[in-house]
Amino acid sequence: MQIELTSEQRAFSDSCARLAADLAAGWHRGRGPGDIDPPAPDEKAWARIADAGWLALGLREENGGIGATAVDLAVLVEQLGYHAVAAPIVGTLMAAQQLQTWQAPAELLADIAAGTLRIAPVLTADLRSFAAVEPAWLLRQDTPNVGPATPPNLGPTAPPNHGETAPPNHGETTPHGHGQTGRPARGTAEAGVLAWDAAGAAMAVLPALGTAYLLADATGFADVTRAVRPLGEPAMTIDLTIPGDDALAGLGAFALSLLTADLLGTMQAALDSAVEHAKVRSQFGAHIGSFQAVQQLLADSHVLVEATRSATYYSAWAVDALPGAQALRAARAAKAFASRSAVEVCEHAIQVFGGIGMTWEAPAHVWLRRAQADRLALGDEHFHYAAIAAAEFAAASTSKSGS
Amino acid sequence: MDFADDPAAAEFRAGLRSWLSEHLAEYAHGTGYESAEAVERTHKWHKALAQAGYVAVSLPAEYGGRGLPDSYEGIVNQELAAAEAPPSPPIGHIAHAVVDFASDELKTRVLPGLLGCTQVWCQGFSEPGAGSDLASLTTTATADGDRFVVNGQKIWTSGAMWSRWCLLMARTEPDLPRHRGISMLVVDMESSGVDRREITLASGSREFAEVFFDNVSVPAANLVGERGQGWQIAMHMLAYERGPADMGWVGRLGQVIATAREAVSSGQLTADEALRQRLAAAAVDVEVLQWHVARSLANRGPGSRSEAGSVDKLLTIRIEQNLYHVVNDLAAASFVVGPPTTFANYLWSRAQSIYGGTQQIQRQIVAQRILGLPRD
């Protein structure tokens, strides 16, 4: 049993860290909210990201990808979190994996892998789940949901290369019998959903509708390193196939694992920075890091970071090694733990920074923003606790009907 | 990255499971430290487990262990908990001190009894005036020819009442700076001048004692390591004592969750939505602790940093104490009405942040030795 990164993974982590630091150095927070760079890399930076192979990592070789493991992806994403990289890489990885799971055409996936098609995942507006995905894997019964439905006939907007194979083979079987209530009227599919981590993205896909949408301007979003955008007009149809339950659960586990890794990197950065500050800031004639009250706060933060690291590794390993449902259960636990812990660590960091931590100039708020927004993406801890409670801590009479 | 058993580990696990299914019933009931009979049954269980080859599995085979990776200690822990067996004997930290520092002669003399569980050991560290500030200990061991003469008092000595041997920290070099003047000795508890007095804990457990040493003669050959090396050995041991798997702990917390889950789903206990969510949160915490311990054990080996044990201990404290708050709320009135077990378990969860170095001391270790923050 070996539960650490391999030497190859450590080397990969170092190379990811170098590029992530470079990208972060090219992004400026400015003097305030009106002066900040958008969280979208320019063409040159995006080309570097694509050249590094990051966008191709999770896709299989036949789809123009590299076929890396979820652990490899977690290694990359931890560094993106650590350097608070303001580029929609996690969103792209998530959207690519979703489309691969829905068996999107290989050439479309290859375009995403190469960075030529910039695409974002679509979440429900409450951010708790992928939009228009059957509820089996992430949704609770009371969660707002779009679709699935038969794809609207968008005719002329379909581009020549994709969606030509007719008829689309999704939508014919309506899984789990939810279709009868979920069919949206044409034109309302984009309501109640948001493209997530969508800065600079050309479009976002609602898989259950087999439709890619253009994206509207970014909505206000607390995380200054990412953008969320409402959907605009339909852009094209894509030939997709509804995945089985196990594949959908695996997709959920994958997406949650990426967010867990992002939270890990974010909290590690906040802790490291707070520790460095505590070593140099003096009050009462001593470095504040020598005070027990400060030491205890930071020690607790370190414990949470290390536990989250273990959870991140387990969650990513489970995506690669366990059946979808088990991987999803593990990913829920890991994401719930990381969500709560990352916020606590980032809040502790701000406390250690004191007044400086409350300024725009200091980076502490960027980590806290990212932690809070990541926490909500695909469900915060309360959401996952509720799902686990419903499945595992219900009285026998209700657990039978509920699961 | 592999959290799963490899074939050898799976075989080991299956072997232990089958041994338990065959033999556990004989030993499962009435163990503990509340009465002389319970203690006797506990020791019988330890001996049986050792004879079957499931004690100190990560220690070298030449001294009675099995030379397996540390992760196998985690497997023993998990399987005992899953079978609702009594825990394994908490001797890993003492065994590591002896194996890693004692002379070959001393090892040959004492390890078979320790690892075979035929002789009980205790650990003489804390004193009335040296709790968190362990290095201020005043028990002395004065060199006198080929022996040391020990004088002083120890407290919170777990198992002292029925121990044959005590691994004792005593000051041998009173003139050296306090951390450098301490040595580690193996003391025969049947020596003349040793006096033990039982301490009854708030829970009713009678596991602890005070031990008084009045001109106790200890052969020089019973010195572990070098004179003045005691502090270093103690810190080495604590890495193992603070690791939750070594103390048979993590598996038991998983069992608490499983019991709660069963009680709720069978309708034996009722939980409203708020409480069910807290149970789910506690279950998540215990799972994360299990993954973390698996990672710690897989990475631990010769030369690993003892401070990592403090991280694991702090995580365990946080998770265990919260877990007991939740299950106490689930128990509702039976937390205080009826058999004393529920309340005793809760009290023990409060001890988690005291023994083996308090929560506050562990945090200082993490802050100063891992994060590199300055000492005051």
| Predicted local confidence at residue A58, as pLDDT | 95
Q: Using the beta-carbon criterion (under 8 Å), do B9 and A395 form an inter-chain contact?
A: no
Q: Is the pLDDT of residue B166 over 60?
A: yes
Q: Which whole-number Å values give the CA distances from A362 to A37, A156, A353, A366, A402, in the listed order?
A: 16, 50, 9, 8, 47
Instruction: Dump pLDDT digits (tens) for B77-130.
Output: 889 988 989 989 989 899 999 999 999 999 999 999 999 999 999 999 999 999
Rounded to the nearest integer, the mean pLDDT of chain B is: 93
Query: Mean pLDDT across the stretch B271-299?
Result: 94
Kindly list the residues from chain A whose CB atom is less than 8 angstroms away from the CB atom of residue B265. 392-396, 399
Q: Which of A215, A220, A218, A195 is nearest to A33 (CA)?
A: A220
Query: Mean pLDDT across the stretch B138-164?
Result: 97
Q: Which of B228, B140, B227 is nearest to B179 (CA)?
A: B228
| Predicted local confidence at residue B309, as pLDDT | 87
Query: Mean pLDDT across the stretch B218-224?
Result: 98
Q: Using the beta-carbon criterion (under 8 Å), do A303 and B315 form an inter-chain contact?
A: yes
Q: Which whole-number Å values give the CA distances from B117 to A87, A205, B113, B168, B246, in the listed order?
A: 60, 64, 6, 19, 16
Residue A286: strand pairing partners: A283
| Cross-chain CB nearest to B371 (options A71, A299, A394) | A299
Query: Mean pLDDT across the stretch B288-309?
Result: 84
| Predicted local confidence at residue A133, as pLDDT | 55
Q: Using the beta-carbon criterion (under 8 Å), do B3 and A314 form an inter-chain contact?
A: yes
- Closest residue in B to A310 (Cα–Cα): B292
Best mutation target among A295, A297, A301 (most B Cβ atoms within 10 Å) is A295
The enclosing H or E element of A214 equals strand A211-215
| Predicted local confidence at residue B40, as pLDDT | 95
Residue pair A72/A93 in contact (Cβ under 8 Å)? The answer is no
Residue pair B156/B212 in contact (Cβ under 8 Å)? The answer is no
pLDDT class for B341, splitting at 50, 70, 90?
confident
- What percent of chain B has a predicted confidence (pLDDT) above 90? 77
- Full set of structural domains in chain A with CATH: 7-243 (1.10.540.10), 246-402 (1.20.140.10)
ipTM of the predicted assembly exceeds 0.85: yes
For A206-235, letters b (16+ CB in 10 Å) and e give: bbbbbbbbbbeebeebebbbbbbbbbeebb
- Residue in this structure with the two tokens 């262990």, named with its chain if needed: B65
**Coil, helix or strand for B240?**
helix
Chain centroid, CA A111 distance in Å: 20
Q: Using the beta-carbon criterion (under 8 Å), do B295 and A3 form an inter-chain contact?
A: yes
Question: Hey, how many other C-beta atoms are within 10 angstroms of the C-beta on B292?
Answer: 27
| Cross-chain CB nearest to B1 (options A71, A292, A330) | A71
- Closest residue in B to A309 (Cα–Cα): B292
Best mutation target among B133, B272, B273, B284 (most A Cβ atoms within 10 Å) is B284
Where would I find the H helices in A54-164? Answer: 70-82, 89-101, 106-114
Residue pair B185/B123 in contact (Cβ under 8 Å)? The answer is no
Q: How far apart are CA A54 and CA A48, in angstroms?
A: 9
| Predicted local confidence at residue A311, as pLDDT | 98
Between residues A327 and B334, the one the model is more confident about? A327
pLDDT class for B342, splitting at 50, 70, 90?
confident
Q: How far apart are CA B8 and CA A96, in angstroms?
A: 38
Q: What phi-psi label fits residue A283: left (phi over 0), alpha (psi between -120 and 50 degrees) or beta?
A: beta
The residues of chain A scoring below 70 in pLDDT are: 1, 133-190, 397-403
- Closest residue in B to A303 (Cα–Cα): B311
Q: Is the pLDDT of residue B338 over 80?
A: yes
> Which residues of B are identified as catalytic?
241
Q: Is the pLDDT of residue B248 over 90?
A: no
Contacts of A25 (CB under 8 A, 6+ apart): none
| Predicted local confidence at residue B251, as pLDDT | 82
Q: Using the beta-carbon criterion (under 8 Å), do B277 and A321 form an inter-chain contact?
A: no
| Cross-chain CB nearest to B373 (options A2, A279, A382) | A279
Q: How far apart are CA A304 and CA A299, in angstroms?
A: 9
Q: Using the beta-carbon criterion (under 8 Å), do A386 and B298 form an inter-chain contact?
A: no
- Closest residue in A to B267 (Cα–Cα): A395
A302 to chain B, any CB pair closer than 8 A? The answer is yes
| Predicted local confidence at residue B64, as pLDDT | 86
Residue pair B295/A310 in contact (Cβ under 8 Å)? The answer is yes
Question: Hey, how many other C-beta atoms are within 10 angstroms of the C-beta on A161?
Answer: 11
pLDDT class for B247, splitting at 50, 70, 90?
low
| Predicted local confidence at residue A285, as pLDDT | 96
Q: Is the pLDDT of residue B244 over 90?
A: no
